[in-house]
Amino acid sequence: SQQQRPGGGGGGSSKSKARQGKMVRLNINARERRRMHDLNDALDELRSVIPYAHSPSVRKLSKIATLLLAKNYIMMQTERLEGASPPRLSESFATL
């Protein structure tokens, strides 16, 4: 009689298990590629609505620079809406 290993599917050839493991890895890789593609699309959309991020003299911002610029822009707009004196534009780019 054959004993099953914990987490194992029981019998089956090592070739079929290797093939199944490869398919699992391919599915994981495809899911990660989709996730990264979606993240990059979202960052591109964010870059398209941030002032100064898409002017001809500015090369494509890195992911971190995009997020920092967006954060600073949101903070600047919040201060403007709350009636505080808006920070100078140079302060918005200081953390880049």
pLDDT tens, residue by residue, 52-80: 777 778 788 999 999 999 999 999 999 99
Q: Helix (H, G, I), strand (E, B), or coil: what is residue 2?
A: coil
| The pair of three-digit structure tokens given for residue 28, joined into one six-digit string | 């994981």
pLDDT tens, residue by residue, 25-48: 999 999 999 999 999 999 999 999
Q: How far is CA 41 from CA 6, 37, 63, 79, 95, in A?
A: 41, 6, 11, 29, 24
What is the CA 65 to chain-centroid distance, rounded?
Answer: 13
| CATH of the domain spanning 14-92 | 4.10.280.10
Confidence category of residue 83, pLDDT binned at 50, 70, 90: confident
Confidence category of residue 10, pLDDT binned at 50, 70, 90: low
Judge whether 77 and 61 are in contact, CB under 8 Å: no
> Residue 53's pLDDT is what?
75
